Structures are given as structure tokens and as C-alpha cells.
Amino acid sequence: MMNDQQLLAQAKQLDPAALRALHQRFYEPVARYIRFKVGDPHTVEDLSGEVFVRVIQGLKRGQAWQDSPQGWIMGIARHVVADYYRQRERMSEVELSDGLAAAVETSPAHQAALNERKRLLEQAIQQLGDEQRDVILLRFMEGIDIQGVAKAINKTPGAVKALQYRALRALAELMQDFSLEGALSEE
């Protein structure tokens, strides 16, 4: 099995097998990111497809980042989502993001508690600024390293670390606030 860099090198030659393998390897992370940002399953499919159209266009123009293929592709996904919302703004529609990856199945009571924590976490993530939210999604949902995230959002690694630190601190405070609100409303 080829690593990401080898696969990208083959895909740069527009080799059909390499392009299929690139799509198979990165489709789920791209779709998961877009699903979190957009929510609607049909839109997720459309935008995920658009990401890979732009990947091929980038490969043809020689724009791929050999040192961080996943960062490059997730950066394209980020731009596709931004374009989608810019277009929607022009049409004056607003849609809330929805959905985290499904949790591992457990007992109903435990599952309910997990679902509530996920809901609160998603609510907290949505309250972050765009850059902080993107850093959290790319780092922790997609597992991209600091360098890859830096390239995806056009920031320095130091700036990504600072954004991550501030985002995690803000999330901790928001989650604590949500927990306090929940406890007070139950009384």
C-alpha cells in the first residue's frame, strides 16, 4: 500500500487507478468534515464531489502539496464549504451545521449521556470563531498534524498552535457553562 505522498505523486500523473485510490482514501475524512460544517446529506455529497473535482484541477495545474496531501485536500474542502456559504448568503438562506460521527453503541443510559455530551460539544464548537472551529475539526476530528492544518488554513504552525490553545480553552469554559446551565435547569 502506498503512503499519501506516493499516492499523490502517482495521482499527479493523472493515473486513473491512483485517482481512484486518492478518492477512496480521502473521501470519508472530506465528507465527515463537510457533514459537520453543512449537515444536509445531499449537500455533503455534492460538496464532497466538488472537492475532488478541484483536487483533479489542482493536480493538473501542479498545485498539490507533496509534503501534506491530507492538509492540501482538507484545505480544498474548507474552501468549498466557504464558497457554499458565500453562495447561500447571496441567496439569503441560513442553515445550521449538524452532526458528529456516530458514537460507539453502548447501554441506552450511557448512550443518552454520550449523545447529550456530543450535543453540548457540538454546540460549544459552533460558538467558536471560524478559524478556531476549523483548527479543532481538522486536528481532532480528522487527525491532521499541526503542519497540515497550517497549510490547510494558510497560517503558520505557531498560529495554529495558538488557535488550538485558545479554542480548547474556550471549549472547556463553554462545556463548563453548559454543564452548570443544565444542572440549574434540572433543579
Domain covering 1-97 assigned CATH 1.10.1740.10 in the classification: yes
CATH 1.10.10.10 residue spans of the chain: 106-187
How much is the pLDDT for 178? 67
Report the chain (187 residues): mean pLDDT per 10 consecutive residues.
82 85 91 88 90 89 79 91 81 41 52 76 86 88 86 90 88 75 51
Predicted local confidence at residue 51, as pLDDT: 92
CATH number of 106-187: 1.10.10.10
pTM of the full predicted structure? 0.57
Between CA 166 and CA 171 the distance in angstroms is 9
Nearest in space to 181 (alpha carbons), one of 119, 103, 129, 97: 119
- Given 3-state DSSP classes, what are the helix, strand and coil percentages for the chain, each rounded to the nearest 5? 75, 0, 25
